[in-house]
Amino acid sequence: MFPKLDPLLHSELRLAVMSILAGVDEADFTYLKKQTEATAGNLSVQIDKLTTAGYIMVEKGFKGKMPRTTCRITPAGQEAFSKYVEALKEYLSASK
Amino acid sequence: MFPKLDPLLHSELRLAVMSILAGVDEADFTYLKKQTEATAGNLSVQIDKLTTAGYIMVEKGFKGKMPRTTCRITPAGQEAFSKYVEALKEYLSASK
DNA sequence: AAATTTGGTTTATAAAATAAACTTGTTTAT
DNA sequence: ATAAACAAGTTTATTTTATAAACCAAATTT
C-alpha cells in the first residue's frame, strides 16, 4: 500500500537539487545554491551523497580562474527520481 | 521556487498516517500499524508528534476489555496535508 | 598589501527516525 | 490457579540525518 520512499530523495534539499537537475542539462554549485537558498555547507554535503549514490555526476573545473563545480543527473538518478515521484503519489492520493 | 516543506509531514511514517486519516473518518492504532507496517514504538512516537502539532486527535477507550486508541484528523491537519501536497508538487514537476 | 569576496570543504551540533526493551493487562493452556 | 503467551501500547536508547558553523585556499577589490 505505501511503498518505501527512497531515503536519498526524501530530503528537502536533495530533492530540490534533483528536481532542478532533472530539468536541465547541467547546473553548477552556485546556481544550485541560489535556487535552493541552501547554505554552501549543506549543499556540499548533499551533493556528495547524491554523487556517492550515483544519482548525479560532478565535474570540477575552472571558469576563468575561479573554481567551478558542475553537476549533472545520471540515468540512474533520472530513474530513481521517477520512481520516487510515483511512490510518493501513493501517499498523496489519500482517499483513493 | 521551492517552498518549505512542513517537516512534520515530510516523514515517511507520519505522511502515511496522515494519508490514511485524510481518507477515513477514524482509524485505530492497530489498523494504522497494519497498514503502515510500522513498529508499534515508531508509530506511537509519530502519533504523539502529530497530536502535539494539532494535526490529529487521539481518543483512548476500550474495545471490550482491551485498550483501543482511535485517531482522527483535525481540520488543521487536513489543511496542513493539502498545503504539503501543493508544496511538494513544486518539487516534483522539475522541468516546469 | 590588507581586506573582502568567491567557491567551496570539513567538522560539530541539533534534531529525527527507528528499534529495542519495557509495561500493563488479557487470554489461553496446564 | 497459575504459568505462558499475546495484545496494545509507551518509554528509552541508538543510529541516522539534516544543518550550520567554522574553516581554507585562491581570487578580487580597495
Tens of pLDDT, residues B46-60: 999 999 999 999 999
Question: Is residue A18 assigned to a domain?
Answer: no
- Burial code (b: 16+ CB inside 10 Å, e: under 16) for A64-91 equals eeeeebbbebbeebeebbeebbebbeeb
Identify the CATH number of the domain in which residue A43 sits: 1.10.10.10
Residue A80 to chain B, least CA–CA distance (Å):
12
Question: Is residue A8 assigned to a domain?
Answer: no
Mean pLDDT of A60-76: 96
Is some CB atom of chain A closer than 8 A to the CB atom of B71?
Answer: no
Number of domains in chain B: 1
Enumerate the residues of chain A whose CB falls inside 8 A of the CB of residue B16. Answer: 2, 91
Question: Is residue B4 assigned to a domain?
Answer: no
Q: Is the CB of B73 under 7 A from strand D?
A: no
B72 phi, psi to nearest 5 deg? -145, 145
Q: What is the pTM of this model?
A: 0.93
> Closest nucleotide to A46's CA, by C1' atom?
D18
> Closest nucleotide to A31's CA, by C1' atom?
C7
Question: Is residue A46 assigned to a domain?
Answer: yes
Provide the residue range defining the domain that includes A65: 25-78
Mean pLDDT of A30-44: 95
Question: Is residue A32 assigned to a domain?
Answer: yes
Q: What is the pLDDT of residue A92?
A: 87
pLDDT for A94 beyond 80: no
Question: Is residue A65 assigned to a domain?
Answer: yes
Which of B12, B37, B91 faces A19 most closely, judged by CB atoms? B91
- Distance in angstroms: CA B13, C1' C18: 11
Per-residue pLDDT band for A58 (boundaries 50, 70, 90) equals very high
Using CA atoms, how far apart are residues A11 and A95, in angstroms rounded to an integer?
25
Question: Is residue B37 assigned to a domain?
Answer: yes
Q: Is the CB of A30 under 7 A from strand C?
A: yes
Per-residue pLDDT band for B69 (boundaries 50, 70, 90) equals very high
Question: Is residue A96 assigned to a domain?
Answer: no
C-alpha cell at B81: 496535508
pLDDT for B94 beyond 80: no
Mean pLDDT of A61-87: 96
C-alpha cell at A58: 560532478
